[in-house]
Amino acid sequence: MVFPTTLIKAVKGTRDLLPPFTENWNAVEREARAVFRAYNYGEIRTPILEETQLFARGVGADTDIVNKEMYTFDDRDGSSLTLRPENTASVIRAYIEHRLDQRPGVQKLYYIGPMFRRERPQAGRYRQFYQIGAEAIGSESPAVDAEVIEMVIEILGRAGLTGFELLINSVGDHNCRPQYVEKLRTALEPVAASLCGDCQRRAVTNPLRVLDCKVEADQPIIDKLPNILDHLCDACRTHFDAVKRHLDDRGLEYTVRPRMVRGLDYYMRTTFEVVHGGLGAQNSVLGGGRYDGLAESLGSKVHSPGIGFSIGEDRLVMSVAARESSALDLCIAPLGEPALRHAALLARDLRRGGASVEIAEGKLKRILELANKLGARFTLIVGDNEINAGRYALKEMATGRQEEVTRDEIAPKLGAARN
């Protein structure tokens, strides 16, 4: 193909999802919605565009996401807008804006949709990526933490994911975490010089990140650093113990990872993550945690503690077995113009009945070839003979068997053979 001008392609880090692959996406979303419904979660759809300030205040102005990974641009009136890099801040914004705190009970909301981060793409990580997430807002109860975690594990299972691991941790709250970070900073000072270059930088900018380091040589040093779970305040300690107890009650298996750190500033107390092999370096399928101070930092006068998670849908879809694409029920082969018009009405009625039907034009041989390639289960031959007799030739593609049927017999035949 030669084009007079440069070929336009999908922008870097974005991609087209094509059939039949989109079936896998729909299947995952279908299962997720069913689980959300069972746990009494309602869907929320927030705008993809938000004021930049929302993320700066919510996610944290010092985070990499806000500093260098957002799609931010000026609107015509000069205001700064951003394509959402995550959805929790938006959901809380909507919660505050619409006074959902006045509604009865814990507000349980879920969302499915695209997020945007301007990162360098790599396996399992795109600039436009999709998240399935949920937030439970209005309770500090550790039982809610456990239920949220149970729910997300349920979703993964129903989506068909196996061989994953649940990791949990507590990152403390505004009382104990700052103290811990200071202790960490102090402990790092004498040893920082012997750590890798990245860690030397992290020791100053974001000491918690040192705990995440994957460099083998650094591990012995990191192992000796103070452990956050030893520095939780009583309230956080009690909360975390209760979460674990509730998880145990449910028989959920998990690993406590004191070194698991979250990238977003708003997390406090419970954090969790699910990892899965076979995703390359991006082994995290979902992440979540509690964010009891987020609403206030977004200007809420009402204390609105919450916990939520988001599943990386791209990664989940990538990790679950591909579904069989739904087969075409019937291909109609009209022979000649009058037959085509006749077939159109026949197809419409069968489609109304729920069958998937394709009409193909051309020579019969061609149509049968096509029906075969399309995976049609049946082909219906409609020629002048058939129309006059009121009986059509219905051919079962797998067996090659062909029989005469009346108009009314077609739909039942399609339905009967569907299993």
Partner RNA sequence: GUGGGUGUAGCUCAGCUGGUAGAGCGCUGGAUUGUGGUUCCAGUGGCCGAGGGUUCGAAUCCCUCCACCCACCCCA
**Binding-site ranges for RNA (CB under 7 A):** 1-2, 9, 11-13, 15, 63-65, 69, 117, 119-126, 129, 131, 198, 202, 206, 209, 212-214, 261-264, 273, 280-282, 284-287, 310, 312, 314-315, 335, 363-366, 368-369, 371-373, 381, 383-386, 393, 395, 397-400, 402
User: What is the CA angle 275-278-282, rounded to 5?
Assistant: 55
Residue 169: CB minimum distance to RNA, A: 12
| Nearest distance in Å: CB 57, RNA | 16
* Cβ contact 127:314 at 8 Å: no
Q: How far is the CB of 302 from RNA (least distance, A)?
A: 25
Cβ-proximal residues to 304 (8 Å cutoff; 6+ apart), any chain: 92, 95, 96, 101, 137, 138, 294, 295, 296
| Shortest Cβ 195–RNA spacing (Å) | 12
Q: Please identify, using beta-carbon distances, which residue of 138 and 312 lies nearer to RNA.
A: 312
Q: Is 98 left (phi over 0), alpha (psi -120 to 50) or beta?
A: alpha
Residues 6+ apart with CB under 8 A from 134: 36, 41, 108, 109, 110, 111, 148, 151, 152, 308, 309
CB 167 to RNA: min, Å: 10
Rounded Cα distance, 260 and 333, in Å: 61
Closer to RNA by CB, 34 or 281: give it: 281
Cβ nearer to RNA, comparing 117 with 177: 117
End-to-end CA distance of the chain: 43
- Whichever of 252 and 370 has its CB closer to RNA, that residue is 370
Report in angstroms how near the CB of residue 371 gets to RNA at its nearest.
7
Which tokens belong to 128?
């436009």
305 versus 383: smaller Cβ distance to RNA? 383
The least CB distance from residue 97 to RNA, in Å, is: 24
Angle at 50 between CA 287 and CA 77, to 5 degrees: 160
**Six-digit token string for 221:** 């040093």
CA distances from 98 to 1, 86, 101 (A): 53, 20, 8
Nearer to RNA, 113 or 263 (CB): 263
Q: Minimum Å distance from CB 238 to RNA?
A: 25
- With respect to RNA, which residue has the nearer C-beta, 302 or 389? 389
Whether 284 and 312 have beta carbons less than 8 Å apart is answered as yes
Tally of CB atoms within 10 A around 104: 6
Closer residue to RNA (CB): 236 or 360: 360
223: tokens are 């192992």
CB contact at 8 A, 306 and 292 = yes
For residue 341, the minimal CB distance to RNA (Å) is 16
Q: Which C-beta is closer to RNA: that of 107 or that of 310?
A: 310
- Whether the Cβ atoms of residue 285 and residue 161 lie closer than 8 Å to each other: yes
Query: Hey, what are 20's tokens?
Result: 């039949």
